[in-house]
Structure 1
């Protein structure tokens, strides 16, 4: 798991951790049951306070994305699949909006966008 922190970001460190782990889960890079690094290990790897990583894990747990078991560690939750699906759907919508804006800037119409999408789909099959 590769988490990159920015000291120049206006976002608190714990929130950066939460958003990056959330993103990994929503994108399917971390699946249900996958273990997360221990709070101490992540703090050591990122060279930050254990309190900061604990706060991040607690936030992920509140969202239902992570389960923590005393003495066992923290794991990606499998319980909230509907929430994860909805969030991934929202990410897809955001990406599609970006594509629509880019196509508008390039002067590409809807029919041409559909043709491009169809061609890309055929290439994947």
Structure 2
């Protein structure tokens, strides 16, 4: 199975984090549905050209969050996640991104009004006016 995960080797974020964020997003957005069999750790590591240890960590982290289930001998699957839990994961990712954007704006001394304007422009750009 091919997964639309992109790695940016120039990013300051660790590889495991980039993969984990994208895989979590695929699950909580419903793009990967319950019961979907994921590539083996080795297969995904080969696809992404990274270490088996990196992918193992991603799978373990997402399993501890309840998003994945591993069945000995059969593989790793997307777990059944209640809608409330999916919404919580989905919104946590957005809140983290917004807080990062606000911190970046504050770092370069943007005012609250400037940040609000930038946020509205981004909304208009992505959702239309």
Report the TM-score when normalising by structure 2. 0.68
CA drift of 1:76 comes to 0.6
Is the alpha carbon distance of 1:13 and 1:89 closer, same or farther for their aligned partners in structure 2, counting shifts above 3 Å? closer
1:33–1:77 contact (8 Å) kept in structure 2:
yes
1:39–1:50 contact (8 Å) kept in structure 2:
yes
Mapped pair 1:101 → 2:119: yes
Report the equivalent of 2:46: 44
Unaligned runs of 5+ in 2: 99-115
Report the equivalent of 2:89: 87
Q: Measure the CA separation in 2 of the matches of 1:66 and 1:47.
A: 22
Q: Measure the CA separation in 2 of the matches of 1:99 and 1:28.
A: 31
SS at match of 1:64: coil
1:64–1:80 contact (8 Å) kept in structure 2:
no
CA drift of 1:82 comes to 2.7
Write out aligned runs for 1:1-125 (5 A): 1-89=3-91, 101-102=119-120
SS at match of 1:67: strand
Report the TM-score when normalising by structure 1. 0.70
CA drift of 1:86 comes to 2.3
RMSD: 2.9
Please list the CA deviations of residues 18-70 of structure 1 after superposition, one character each: whole Å capped at 9, or x if unmatched. Answer: 10000001111011111111101001111111111101100111111000111
1:32–1:77 contact (8 Å) kept in structure 2:
yes
CA drift of 1:99 comes to 9.7
Flag the structure with larger Rg.
Answer: 1
Please list the CA deviations of residues 48-104 of structure 1 after superposition, one character each: whole Å capped at 9, or x if unmatched. Answer: 111111011001111110001111110011044431132335567889xx899326x
